[in-house]
């Protein structure tokens, strides 16, 4: 075999041997970088009883901080369901909510605004069925958040076909206060008019961001 052919053959073998290794290296590096960036993102969860301005606040904060906000998966799920929901639907909603949260986390700008989380599903299930499925409870334990914005019931109730308890607002306000207290996560109550609420929320988030930068 000519010398040039021998050299070319050796070169091809070396390339074939090195390429998988290089590909693995860059894949691992990309995964590490993505995980590192995700871990630096602060997750802000807006939580509270029905009709307390959670979605409006989430939209405002997403625009204000130029970052994605994670919508409530349950609303779209129930709209498409077409039949009365069952307890196992709440578990499906839990998985859908977490998938949305994970997808938007990659695009987050320092913070990710969550319009809800699985604590809401826990409260919902326990009130409706007297218990919460273990799968949801396990998922709750696996998730961490950096700040809860707890929306107060001091704004008027507005009818929505998916809202079920206009007469139990005080009850659920107390339930949510207890739920977030058990997490040990910093919590700020959001009350007042629209501008007062956004001011309270942005001050709380700015404090989180400043502590991260310092």
Cβ neighbors of 7 (< 8 A, separation 6 or more) are none
Same domain for 123 and 156, yes or no, is: yes
pLDDT at 13: 63
Could you tell me if residue 78 is left (phi over 0), alpha (psi between -120 and 50 degrees) or otherwise beta? alpha
Instruction: Please count the structural domains in the chain.
Output: 2
Same domain for 5 and 69, yes or no, is: no
Over residues 60-84, mean pLDDT: 96
Cβ neighbors of 161 (< 8 A, separation 6 or more) are none
Go through the chain and tell me how many residues it has: 214
Q: How confident is the model at residue 29 (pLDDT cuts 50, 70, 90)?
A: very low
Could you list the residue range(s) of the whole structural domain that residue 26 is in? 1-40
Q: How far apart are CA 44 and CA 69, in angstroms?
A: 9
Query: pLDDT at residue 8 above 80?
Result: no
Same domain for 128 and 191, yes or no, is: yes
Instruction: Quote the distance between the C-alpha of residue 30 and its chain's center.
Output: 23
CATH number at residue 193: 3.40.50.300
Over residues 66-76, mean pLDDT: 96
Cβ neighbors of 149 (< 8 A, separation 6 or more) are 44, 45, 46, 47, 57, 187, 188, 190, 201, 204
Same domain for 107 and 23, yes or no, is: no
Decide which of 166 and 69 is more confident: 69
Instruction: Quote the distance between the C-alpha of residue 207 and its chain's center.
Output: 20
Same domain for 169 and 197, yes or no, is: yes
Same domain for 23 and 52, yes or no, is: no
User: From edge to edge, which strands make up the β-sheet containing 69-70?
Assistant: 69-70, 111-114, 42-47, 147-151, 187-190
Same domain for 103 and 184, yes or no, is: yes
Same domain for 48 and 112, yes or no, is: yes
Same domain for 81 and 111, yes or no, is: yes
Same domain for 77 and 3, yes or no, is: no
pLDDT tens digits, one per residue of 116-172:
999 999 999 999 999 999 999 999 999 999 999 999 999 988 877 777 777 899 999
Same domain for 73 and 144, yes or no, is: yes
Same domain for 173 and 161, yes or no, is: yes
């Amino acid at each position: 075999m000519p010398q040039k052919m021998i050299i070319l053959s050796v070169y091809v073998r070396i390339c074939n041997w090195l390429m998988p290794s290089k590909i693995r290296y860059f894949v691992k590096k990309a995964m590490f970088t993505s995980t590192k960036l995700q871990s630096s993102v602060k997750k802000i969860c807006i939580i509270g009883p029905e009709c307390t301005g959670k979605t409006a606040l989430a939209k405002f904060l997403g625009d204000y901080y130029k970052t994605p906000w994670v919508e409530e998966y349950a609303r779209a799920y129930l709209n498409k369901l077409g039949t009365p929901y069952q307890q196992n639907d709440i578990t499906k909603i839990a998985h859908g909510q977490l998938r949305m949260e994970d997808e938007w986390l990659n695009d987050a700008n320092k913070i990710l605004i969550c319009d809800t989380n699985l604590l809401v599903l826990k409260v919902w299930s326990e009130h409706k069925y007297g218990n919460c499925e273990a799968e949801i409870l396990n998922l709750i334990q696996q998730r961490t958040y950096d700040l809860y914005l707890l929306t107060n019931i001091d704004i008027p109730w507005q009818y929505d076909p998916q809202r079920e308890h206009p007469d139990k607002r005080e009850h659920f306000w107390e339930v949510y206060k207890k739920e977030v207290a058990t997490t040990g996560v910093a919590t700020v109550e959001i009350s007042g008019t629209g501008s007062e609420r956004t001011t309270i929320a942005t001050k709380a988030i700015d404090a989180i961001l400043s502590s991260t930068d310092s």
